Chains A and B, each alone.
Chain A
Amino acid sequence: MAKILIIDDDPNICKVLSDILRLKGYICVIAHTAREAIENVKKEEIDLAIIDLKLPDELGINVLKEIKETSPRTEAIILTAYASLPTAIEALDYGAFSYIEKPCKTEHLLNIIKRALERKNLIEEKERAHKALDKAHQELKVLWQLSKEILSKESLAEIINRSYEVVQGLFPDANIFVFLLDAKRENLFPIERLNLPQKIVDGQRLFQPPNDLIDWLSSIDRAIIVEKGTLTALDKFLDPYPFWYAIPILAKSGCVGCFIIAFNKKRYIPKADIIFVNRLLLQIAGPISQAISMEGQIEFLKGHIFGRTSFYGLVGQSRVMQDVYDLIRDVAPTNATVLITGENGTGKELAAMAIHECSTRKDGPFVVANCSAYPSTLLESELFGHERGAFTGAIRTKKGRFELAHKGTIFLDEIGEIPSTTQLLLLRVLQNRCFERVGGERTIEVDVRVIAATNKDLEKEIAAGRFREDLYYRLNVVPIHMPPLREKKEDIPLLCDHFLKKFCKEMGKDIKGFTAQAMKALIDYNWPGNVRELENVIQQMVILAKRDTIDKKLLPTHIANYLKKDISLAEYERELIIKVLKECNWNKHEAARRLKISRSTLYSKMKRYGLET
């Protein structure tokens, strides 16, 4: 009900007017002096003041001025027996709604009062609407900024951490708990793996066992906000808290987790803030879902690694690398000739060094001879040495690599490149451990262990008549195959960390790791240059990195372009089938089970893609 202040020094007028107004349902306050009037305005909220122009202590105009200064929303009507144009203009200038001359008809006065109060209500409503609009605008702005900021984060840990900070900022007195479902949405995501602040991780202990929470999260299919007393499944775990809200993180693909805001004391909680959190989580649910999926893939790969992480300079924890380590360890103590095969950059020389280091010859020399580095005319001299005057430029006797490797190991790299004449000489050395220097007659005997390596398919070279078959079998006493990096992708995170540490140390940088997106990109690339290419890429990324994590923006263009390359559904299906078959050692029954297709479907797909064994 509107409150009207009647300001007049005449008690009779005050009484008559207040009686009329009270009858109309208004609340009336009476002031006979200017001072009294101002005190009333300061003390309580007055909707309308009816002011007499002549007051004993002050002019009515001045009272109007002061009322408008003190309470701008209070409407004012001047009521005077001494009406004049100048005072009327002045009154309207100072914000009076109307200027009425006494005596006036009651109906006329009531009509003006009604209109004045209507205007006041209209203004107030407008102000409220403006405020609400401003607030909504501000909220949207903050939501947009926060979403933008959070979405710029590349790792799940960063996204969760920043979201957590925002929610904690809104409710500083509350305990914020974050729960995420794993990629399969069958279990809670092991949040402790993300290096998040301990307080976030601690929340996981609340729900033990977490089945009820998982069941609830899995069942959510629309944006809802749950509060204490509405869900028994959560109530029993959150019993210590007098009040709480659970806000799901709802992505398009379904619910991926929730934030729980739990209060230790009951207090007024602005609903708008809870709705704000709900909106924020809806905005960032998609990236959270993607990040969980990525973390899942990385963990899947890590789950396929076993045993030793490194072995005499070779880095890798995959099953294939464990087999290589075992083979090296077994063959090293013998004197058997070893043929190491594998693509460029797979670590053939490191494997040869590992054999040498594990052998009884480790105190002897390890001599490397890159057979492709010399023209055929110089290769024999390089391997077996030459006598002074053996050919033009042979100004002194020179020992060859075999002599230098006496009591140690010689590593013949790129053995597939040597010419047939040298192949025959090698055959002799392998058989008798003796040779003559170029231009020499004296037979030199050496005690050397031979390790050869090639990136070529020597059997094809034999078929083409470029490589001696007897030499091949002489060399291939113990074959070791170094797998290409694309066949041991589970080692990529380990190798990345290894090279990151190596180059950080070299360059004096402090880079903590890779974002999940960067790591996924590194895993997805096919690495034709193998570990050596990966090493070069990491070195380049470390050089360019300006932050404490390496993100995918630092990837070289050729890798970024490769990852953008479109892949057809059929290609994807073929690659997936090959991947699963390899993981199952080509056990079709197991592969079909994992792919969730029948065996006959698998067989028909294998036939279609030419994967029959």
Chain B
Amino acid sequence: MLSYNYVIVLFTKDKKLEQHFAKVLSKKGYKFISYSTYEELFEGLKKGLIKTLFLHDRSIDNDSSIYKDIKQLCPSCQIVLFYEKGNGLVRDAIRCGVYACIKAPYSEWEILTIFHHLGYH
């Protein structure tokens, strides 16, 4: 069983999303780190500390190579995608091993259920 000590990372440049995410996680007492640049993200992945990574589709390039890069640096990392519009993004993400995709407005119950499924209790 995982505990909140494992590193949860949110990769976004969207402050509103960051605030929403923080609010939801605070209800369960989970802590997370927020990155907004690829350098920060890849550095964290290299250290192998990131167990669960929430990617915001608006903050990543619109191609699936990022998932391969993440898996290469940290194979055990579980990826969850926050997205606003599908347009093939979800299909590519699922095919590249993304665990789940949460569509805006990112409901609290949905985020928490996924945490539960990922083993956070």
Q: Chain A: residues with CB nearer than 8 A to chain B?
A: 421, 424-425, 427-428, 431-432, 462, 465, 468-470, 473-474
A residues less than 8 Å from B35 (CB atoms): none
B10 to chain A minimum Cβ distance, whole angstroms, is 18
Q: How far is the CA of A428 from the CA of B81 in the complex (A)?
A: 15
A84 to chain B minimum Cβ distance, whole angstroms, is 129
In chain B, residues 66-104, which have Cβ atoms closer than 8 Å to a Cβ of chain A? 81, 86, 90-91, 93-95, 98-101, 103
A residues less than 8 Å from B93 (CB atoms): 470
The residue in chain B whose Cβ has the minimal distance to the Cβ of A420 is: B110
Contact present for B90 and A427 (CB under 8 Å): no
B28 to chain A minimum Cβ distance, whole angstroms, is 16
Q: Chain B: residues with CB nearer than 8 A to chain A?
A: 81, 86, 90-91, 93-95, 98-101, 103, 109-110, 113-114, 117
Q: Which among B95, B109, B117 has the highest number of chain A CB atoms within 10 Å?
A: B117
A residues less than 8 Å from B81 (CB atoms): 470
13 A–B contacts from the bound complex (CB under 8 Å): A421-B109, A424-B100, A427-B117, A428-B117, A431-B117, A432-B117, A465-B103, A468-B101, A469-B90, A469-B101, A469-B103, A470-B100, A474-B94
A residues less than 8 Å from B113 (CB atoms): 421, 424-425
Given contacts A428-B117, A432-B117, whether A473 and B110 have CB atoms under 8 Å apart is no
Given A424-B113, A427-B117, 5 additional A-B pairs, CB 8 A: A427-B100, A469-B91, A469-B101, A473-B91, A473-B94
The residue in chain A whose Cβ has the minimal distance to the Cβ of B97 is: A431
Q: How far is the CA of A268 from the CA of B109 in the complex (A)?
A: 101
Q: How far is the CA of A421 from the CA of B114 in the complex (A)?
A: 11
Contact present for B101 and A470 (CB under 8 Å): yes
Q: How far is the CA of A469 from the CA of B100 in the complex (A)?
A: 9
Contact present for B86 and A462 (CB under 8 Å): yes
Q: How far is the CA of A470 from the CA of B89 in the complex (A)?
A: 10
B residues less than 8 Å from A424 (CB atoms): 100, 110, 113-114, 117
Contact present for A473 and B95 (CB under 8 Å): yes
The residue in chain B whose Cβ has the minimal distance to the Cβ of A428 is: B117
B residues less than 8 Å from A427 (CB atoms): 100, 117
The secondary-structure label for the interface of chain A is: helix
A384 to chain B minimum Cβ distance, whole angstroms, is 12
Q: How far is the CA of A272 from the CA of B94 in the complex (A)?
A: 85
Q: How far is the CA of A344 from the CA of B81 in the complex (A)?
A: 34
Q: How far is the CA of A425 from the CA of B117 in the complex (A)?
A: 8
Contact present for B86 and A469 (CB under 8 Å): yes
B1 to chain A minimum Cβ distance, whole angstroms, is 9
A residues less than 8 Å from B101 (CB atoms): 468-470
Contact present for A470 and B90 (CB under 8 Å): yes
B55 to chain A minimum Cβ distance, whole angstroms, is 13
Q: How far is the CA of A245 from the CA of B117 in the complex (A)?
A: 89
Contact present for B117 and A473 (CB under 8 Å): no
Contact present for B94 and A470 (CB under 8 Å): yes
Q: How far is the CA of A424 from the CA of B116 in the complex (A)?
A: 11
B107 to chain A minimum Cβ distance, whole angstroms, is 9
Q: How far is the CA of A465 from the CA of B104 in the complex (A)?
A: 11
Q: How far is the CA of A265 from the CA of B98 in the complex (A)?
A: 91
Q: How far is the CA of A431 from the CA of B119 in the complex (A)?
A: 13
Of the residues B90, B99, B109, B114, contact of A473 by C-beta under 8 Å: B90
Q: Which 5 A-B pairs have the closest CB atoms?
A: A470-B101, A473-B94, A428-B117, A469-B90, A473-B91
A residues less than 8 Å from B86 (CB atoms): 462, 469
B residues less than 8 Å from A428 (CB atoms): 117
B residues less than 8 Å from A462 (CB atoms): 86
B102 to chain A minimum Cβ distance, whole angstroms, is 8
Q: How far is the CA of A32 from the CA of B78 in the complex (A)?
A: 140
Contact present for A431 and B99 (CB under 8 Å): yes
Q: How far is the CA of A468 from the CA of B100 in the complex (A)?
A: 10
The residue in chain A whose Cβ has the minimal distance to the Cβ of B107 is: A420
Q: How far is the CA of A600 from the CA of B87 in the complex (A)?
A: 37
B residues less than 8 Å from A473 (CB atoms): 90-91, 94-95
A184 to chain B minimum Cβ distance, whole angstroms, is 49
Q: How far is the CA of A465 from the CA of B102 in the complex (A)?
A: 12
Q: How far is the CA of A469 from the CA of B113 in the complex (A)?
A: 17
Q: How far is the CA of A468 from the CA of B102 in the complex (A)?
A: 9
The residue in chain B whose Cβ has the minimal distance to the Cβ of A475 is: B94
